[in-house]
Amino acid sequence: MKKIPIYTGSGLSLSKDNNSDKDSFLIETLDTSLLISEDENLLDALIESGHEIEYQCREGYCGACRTKVINGEVDYEKTVIAHLEDNEILPCCCRVKESLKLEISLRK
């Protein structure tokens, strides 16, 4: 699915992917916005859209991809081993439950 930068004057919203019946979620970052489908990996979407994000294990053990959340919620299929503060997520293994606003920038 191609990432489509979109802006909604009201902030975070839930949209439908124009190519399927799956829910898509708006991911806002400090520099841009993108849509991801409900079954898309957040880490992969951030990497593909050119964001500056570290990663290693892709399993929630190392915490290298730890990212601050300004608004929104995720959940995890498995227990996360890495320590997280209340406002942090692991994009490598989380499932996006609603639109998010993240404190992350594009690569320079």
pLDDT of 22 reads 75
Q: How far apart are CA 12 and CA 15, in angstroms?
A: 10
Q: Who contacts 97 (Cβ-Cβ below 8 Å, separation ≥6)? A: 72, 73, 74, 75
Q: What is the pLDDT of residues 45-91, one digit of tens each?
A: 999 999 999 999 999 999 999 999 999 999 999 999 999 999 999 99
pLDDT confidence band for 9 (50 / 70 / 90): very low
Which domains are delineated in the chain? 14-103 (3.10.20.30)
